[in-house]
Amino acid sequence: MNIPAISRWRTGLFRLPRFSGGPGEVTLAGTIANSDGTGGPGMRIFGQWALVYSVSGNCFYNDERGVKEVLQPGSWIMVFPEMAQAYGSTPGGRWDEIYVCFRGPVFEAWREGGCFDPSRTTGRWLPPDKGVRVFQKFFQEIQRKDCSSLKAVCLWQELLSEIVGAPREPAIKREGWLERALDFLEHSEPAGGADPLRQAAQACGIGYESFRKKFESAVGMPPGRYVLARRIERARRLLALQSLTNGEIAAMLGFHDEFHFSKTFSRFTGSSPREFRQHARGR
C-alpha cells in the first residue's frame, strides 16, 4: 500500500514484517480518513506506544495530566502505554492521520534516555505535504520483502528521531536518590505484604509524601503507576514466552488473584491475558 494523496485521503493498513523476536516491534501502521481518534472525549490507556501524525483538519488532545490542546495539521501525538489520553477531530470538523504503533524494550530505553518525555506528548513537525513524503519513503522500505522486523524497528527509530527530535531536557534527571529508587522498585519482590513504595522512600532517605511528589515530577507518573506499568510489561513477556497460567503469573507478580490480574491487564493493554497470549503466539 502507498500513502494516498492528501486531497484523496483514505483509510488503509500497511503490511508489516512478521515479528521474529528482538528488542522491539512495529505492531500496526496505517492511514485513517475522517478519524475518530480514541473514539470520544473519554480517555483510553492504549497499552503500547503509538505516534499519530495529523495530515489535515484540527484535532483536540487531552490527557490525565489535565493537558488540553487543539492541534493543527503537521502536529504529532505521542501515545504512552500507561497514560490515559483522548484525541480526535474537533466538533463538526474533520481530521486525517497517519499512525504507527510500536512496543518493546528498545523504546523503554528511549524513555529512560529522555527522548520520550511524558511532559511533552505533542509537538509540531513538517507541514503535511513534506511529512507525508517522508512517511511514504519509510513505508516503502518496511514493506520490502527483504525487510525484517528488526530492520523495520531500526528504520522507525530513525524516523522517530526526526519527528520527536532530541530532548530539550532529560525526562528523568539521574539524581542519586532517583537511581536508588528506580533500582529498588525494579528489583523489589512484588509479594510479601510490605509496601515497596514506602520501602523505596526509606531507602532514599526521603519521607513518603516528598518521595511521591519528587518521583512524579522526575519520571512523569506517580510511583504506584510506574510499578504497575512495569508489572504489566513483565506480564506481557511471560504471556508471550512461557507456558504459565494466569493464576501463576498473578501470584508471581503480586496481584491479589487471577481476576485482579486479568482486570488490570485488560485496563492497561485493551485486551485480556487470554487474547494477548493468543495474539502473541499467533505472531
- pLDDT confidence of residue 166: 47
CA dist 116 and 158 (Å) reads 14
Write out the chain's pLDDT in tens, 283 residues. 789 899 999 999 999 998 877 788 999 999 999 998 987 778 888 889 999 999 999 999 999 888 899 999 999 999 998 888 999 998 888 899 999 999 988 888 888 777 888 888 999 999 999 999 999 999 999 999 999 998 999 999 999 999 997 444 444 445 788 888 888 887 766 555 568 888 889 888 899 999 988 888 877 778 888 888 788 878 877 887 667 888 988 888 888 889 999 888 887 766 788 887 776 665 4
- pLDDT confidence of residue 124: 93
User: Can you give the pTM of this predicted structure?
Assistant: 0.63
Domain 6-164: assigned CATH number = 2.60.120.280
Q: Are 137 and 131 in contact (CB under 8 A)?
A: no
**What separation in angstroms does the CA of 128 have from each of 5, 132, 148, 172, 236?**
11, 6, 28, 32, 35
Q: Kindly state which CATH superfamily the domain 176-282 is placed in.
A: Homeodomain-like (1.10.10.60)
- pLDDT confidence of residue 192: 53
Q: Could you tell me the three cell numbers for 203?
A: 531507602
Residue 135, helix vs strand vs coil: helix
Phi, psi of 76 (to 5 degrees): -130, 155
- pLDDT confidence of residue 172: 44
Whole-number CA gyration radius for the chain: 20
Phi, psi of 101 (to 5 degrees): -105, 145
**What separation in angstroms does the CA of 262 have from each of 223, 232, 245, 250?**
21, 10, 11, 8
Q: Are 74 and 126 in contact (CB under 8 A)?
A: yes
Q: Are 234 and 198 in contact (CB under 8 A)?
A: no
Residue 68, helix vs strand vs coil: strand
Domain definitions of the chain by residue range: 6-164, 176-282
- pLDDT confidence of residue 171: 42
- pLDDT confidence of residue 231: 84
**What separation in angstroms does the CA of 203 have from each of 25, 173, 184?**
36, 18, 8
